[in-house]
Amino acid sequence: MPGSDNERLDKDDLYLLLDSYKNSVEMNTIISQQLTNILDVIQQKDSISTDYLNAIIKLADKITDKLDAHNTDSIKNMGIIVNSIGKLSNKINLLYVAFGSIVISLIVLIISIINKYDLIHSIATHLGVG
């Protein structure tokens, strides 16, 4: 009967081997399905991320364009303001020169009158006014 025990062991071993193979196939099938599901989720997230990234890039480009336009306008306006300030400054300097000339002329006139006060007084006395 030793032969029958060996055959029985061989059948049990074969059964265990086939059961193990069956479990391996089922496990590999489940893992393959899970990997497929994970790949689908990653692809969906990648496409969503790509869409969001493209939207963000477009928005950033619009903001950059607006900032560039604003900076260009600011530079133009600053040039206009600087030119206006320069023109105004030139006019103010011209007013200072004119006012200074008038003040200097008045001072010279007063000094001349003071220097000739005696002559003016003698003429006024001669005329009978002073």
- Residue ranges per structural domain of the chain: 2-127
Tokens in use for 117?
């006060």
- The crossing angle, in degrees rounded to 10, of helices 117-127 and 2-115 is 40
pLDDT of residue 130: 62
Cβ of 30: how many Cβ atoms within 10 Å?
A: 10
User: Region 51-56: what's the mean pLDDT?
Assistant: 74
Mean pLDDT of the chain: 77
pLDDT of residue 1: 45
